[in-house]
Structure 1
Amino acid sequence: MLLVLLGAGFMLSVDFSILNVALPEAGAGVGIGVAGLPWITSAFALPAAGLTLLFGRLGDLFGRRRLFMVGMVLLAVASLGGGVAHTAEVLLAARALQGVATAMTLPSALSLLTTTFAEGRRRERALGLRGALLSAGFAVGALVGGVLVSLVGWRAAFFINVPVAIAVLVVTPFVIKESVRPMRTRLDVPGAVTVTGGLLAVVYGVIETNVLSVVIGVALLVAFCLIELRSAAPLVPVHVLRRPTVMWGNAAGLAVTAMEPAMIFLTTLYLQEVLKLSPLATGIVFGIPGTASVAAGVVAGRIIGRFGVRRVLAVSMSVQGLATLPLVFLGDHLIALVVLIPALFVGFFGHVAAIVSYTVTGTSGVPDDEQGLASGLTSMTQQVGGVIGTPILSAIAAGQAAQLTGLHAALAFDVALTLAVALLVFIALRPRTPRPVVDRETGELVAAGT
């Protein structure tokens, strides 16, 4: 079961990375110009970020294995459609369907994982392996993508998913049991509509720098909160969001997943536009330190078991932030690589350890019948963070007159935000001292309380 669930996540990570490499060729193949290339990514990111929470909860209500398998079927169909696409419309529709499939698959796989392995050391090890394989998938995809696109063409980046998805679908019924569903499965339609619309509007607004869309999205999310407070069968029970582990785990995850990809984007521009490195050399600069991220996933579960998730989360976030600090002072000479590569090595290790830690935190203390919701929240956080971080840091960088000065300002903001959230999380997740509960009339101790 672990092999199937982690293998599916690995495949999705590889696919995302391969398609990043194949973007220029894919766009040229269907007539999308350079200006339109970001929409190949955005068509995927919008549904992947906007629908993850909804599908995570639907897995709780209607069966996680069922939703996982539907997602894999949709992924195979969408990948086949993308591979045979000859127009921009078909390609973008295929990417959007891949985003929907990802929104179905990731939270379902994660919740099946967390409900199979009891909270504690075994779950931490399993989530550590998940982090390692997701990181390895990204690295493998970048390497395989370049070779595959060069030898076979960009369509192979889509077709490669089909046999893997079919294999997962064949094996899944034999190794994964369906989750136990509650007796009442009524769907909170107003909540589903407002939260999905709100997330889609916010993500679209950030991608397109559309203030009106962000305002509409925020208004819909506020309406969603009001609906959930009054709903008899809420899509997202408020008591789950009030859990410190869920609240602060996802706050940490948002900072972690927003800042590191944005740093990578800005550093890529720095390497190619300031240091004048080739794309191949840039890939090597990131690829060598990338091995640290795989190692981090393997050891993170063991470290959490020994020192506790609160400490590991705060420390790993601090490592991610402090490793970015030397980049604030980089100059325009190649000697900067002597500082940059070790900093990336340390930062990638801290980043993946933080992802594993926030996933463990965000799914802790949640009963099995709400694990789909908790997993959907952590998956949504990762998707949304990956979308909003780059526009934010890019806007800060663009506000400076010189490119290098803008890079330094954006990365300084990255460091400050990551360290500030790490401190807040460490304080907010501290163990609470029990308070005695005393009967007001008799003065006798009733319970220890918290």
Structure 2
Amino acid sequence: MTVFPLALAQFVASYAATTMTVAVSAIAADLGTTVLGVQTAITLFTLTMASLMVPGSKLTDVLGRKRCFAIGLVVYGAGALLASAAPGPGLLIFGYSLLEGIGSALLIPPIYILVTVTSPDTGTRARRFGVVSGAGALGAAAGPLIGGLITTWAGWRASFLLQVLLVAVILVATPRITEPAGERERKPFDVAGALLSAAGLFFVVSGILRAGSGGWVLIVAGAGVLVAFFKHVRARERAGREPLVPSALFRDRVTNLGLLTQHVQWLVLQGAFFVIAVYLQQVRGYDAIETGLMLTPATAGILGASAAAGRLARRHSPRRLIRGGFALTIAGLALLLLLVRADSGVASAVPGLFLLGAGVGIMLTASVNLVQSRSPDSAQGDVSGVSRSVSNLGSSVGTALAGAVLAGATFALALTTLAGAAAAGLIAALLLPRQERPR
């Protein structure tokens, strides 16, 4: 099976989440909105992905993984095309936040399912996950630089047109993807469960986004809806009906801790990119291309770590890699806090950004491989949807949390908050039991 179209699709989805950060000021000025308004569009994009990732993953059992992947690409491409022509924030949100988010929720789960079920052994699986996760990390890390170059030379709309072009390339390569033969089970889709899970996640992240202005009401409401969702899952299981997600998935300690580390990784990465980009543009007056160039050390760190993912997986257990990754990430954030000042030189941010990128890059493949390998092939639809939902929820919460802190505080406090989140991720990694190789 060729991994190229799957890796490129993950690159595009990750790129879309971070490339907007360097164009925030340009988009806000062009569409007559505010930085907060553009931040809301970014958060809604990742939130839509997170909310619909589990239902999207479940649809792969009905439509087939390859077909679901292709449908997601078409929806995503249509959204990018609409966003490129947006005359105001409304169409931008519809095309970028909603359609691209829905498309991502349909196309991303099949990527990880196909890699898992078509890999003959754990070594091959680790290498393929290294390619896919590396592509995702590259999209997230290079998004600011590529977006900065495109925004400066051709305008922010051209960035969406680039996504349309890449989607067309992936669609052409999609027939090369092989899907294991087998009968798909025609099971009823849990519509109520899908609505409850999506609504709960939406309210929780919306509440974080509106922290300080009654957001706690939304957070409490979202938590209540999620409790209702888990009760709904148990009720369907007792009645002998298949729920959206089986409750047994959340009874495995390694899976739960692995999912938590995935959530924190993307929260820290997306949150740090947003905080640094806004700081550079609002405090130092950098334009889009200068902001992207400033984030290049983080890109280099992620790329270097992702390129070594296969070798690292053969020599070290996922638990050790995740722990080491969080330690490097915290060290990088600490260096940024110690060295970066309003009047400091460009070089002051390089060590911290590089360690931040390297730390996240080391963890990405290890966490995905750990979680996906805990379940048999028959349960890959469930675990892949939850895994991708948790990761994208981390991206959404990272942007929302960082924006909320920035709105009422300082760059230093925002980075300190992210360092605290990384410390929580390290604690989760320390609780992972000894398991030298995922089964």
* TM-score range relative to shorter protein: 0.7 to 0.9
Larger relative contact order (CA 8 Å, sep ≥ 6): 2
Q: 1:84 to 1:395 in 2, by over 3 A?
A: closer
1:297, distance to aligned residue in structure 2 (A): 0.8
1:141, distance to aligned residue in structure 2 (A): 3.6
Q: Deviations over 1:30-66 (max 9, x none)?
A: 4445553223323423311211122112213432112
1:125, distance to aligned residue in structure 2 (A): 1.1
Q: 1:179 to 1:265 in 2, by over 3 A?
A: farther
Residue 215 (structure 1) aligned with residue 217 (structure 2): no
Q: Name the residue aligned to 1:283.
A: 292
Q: Deviations over 1:103-149 (max 9, x none)?
A: 11111212111211145111111111222222322444433333433
- Aligned-CA RMSD value: 2.7
Q: 1:278 to 1:26 in 2, by over 3 A?
A: closer
Q: Name the residue aligned to 2:301.
A: 292
Q: Distance in 1 between matches of 2:426 and 2:354?
A: 20
Give the aligned residue type for 1:423.
I
Give the aligned residue type for 1:123.
R
Q: Name the residue aligned to 1:224.
A: 229
Q: Name the residue aligned to 2:60.
A: 59
Q: Name the residue aligned to 1:315.
A: 324
Give the aligned residue type for 2:207.
G
TM-score by length of 1: 0.85
Give the aligned residue type for 2:107.
T
Q: Is the 8 A contact 2:263 2:390 kept in 1?
A: yes
Residue 247 (structure 1) aligned with residue 256 (structure 2): yes
Which of 81-90 and 50-59 deviates more?
81-90
Q: Is the 8 A contact 1:64 1:372 kept in 2?
A: no
Residue 172 (structure 1) aligned with residue 174 (structure 2): yes
Equivalences for residues 32-71 of structure 1 within 5 A? 32-71=33-72
1:237, distance to aligned residue in structure 2 (A): 0.8
Which of 416-425 and 375-384 deviates more?
416-425
Q: Radius of gyration: which is bigger?
A: 1
Q: Name the residue aligned to 1:429.
A: 433
1:275, distance to aligned residue in structure 2 (A): 5.9
Give the aligned residue type for 1:185.
K
Q: 1:346 to 1:75 in 2, by over 3 A?
A: same
Q: Deviations over 1:295-330 (max 9, x none)?
A: 111112321221111111111112211222233334
Q: Name the residue aligned to 1:435.
A: none
Q: 1:94 to 1:173 in 2, by over 3 A?
A: same
> Which residues of structure 2 form unaligned runs of 5+?
none
Identity of aligned residues (%): 26
Residue 367 (structure 1) aligned with residue 397 (structure 2): no
Q: 1:170 to 1:420 in 2, by over 3 A?
A: closer
Q: Distance in 2 between matches of 1:114 and 1:233?
A: 23
Q: Distance in 1 between matches of 2:279 and 2:25?
A: 20
Give the aligned residue type for 1:427.
L
1:294, distance to aligned residue in structure 2 (A): 0.7
Q: Is the 8 A contact 1:275 1:332 kept in 2?
A: no
Selected match of 1:146 from 145, 148, 156: 148
1:223, distance to aligned residue in structure 2 (A): 1.0
1:428, distance to aligned residue in structure 2 (A): 3.1
Q: 1:428 is paired with a residue of what secondary structure? A: coil
TM-score by length of 2: 0.87
Q: Name the residue aligned to 1:439.
A: none
Q: Deviations over 1:176-195 (max 9, x none)?
A: 32664543421122222211
Q: 2:431 is paired with a residue of what secondary structure? A: helix
Q: Distance in 1 between matches of 2:84 and 2:366?
A: 36
Q: Distance in 1 between matches of 2:344 and 2:32?
A: 40
Q: Name the residue aligned to 1:91.
A: 92
Equivalences for residues 402-417 of structure 1 within 5 A? 403=410, 407-417=411-421
1:23, distance to aligned residue in structure 2 (A): 4.3
Residue 265 (structure 1) aligned with residue 274 (structure 2): yes
Q: Distance in 2 between matches of 1:64 and 1:156?
A: 31
Q: 1:256 to 1:136 in 2, by over 3 A?
A: closer
Q: 1:413 to 1:204 in 2, by over 3 A?
A: closer
How many residues were matched structurally?
Answer: 427
Q: Distance in 1 between matches of 2:288 and 2:166?
A: 29
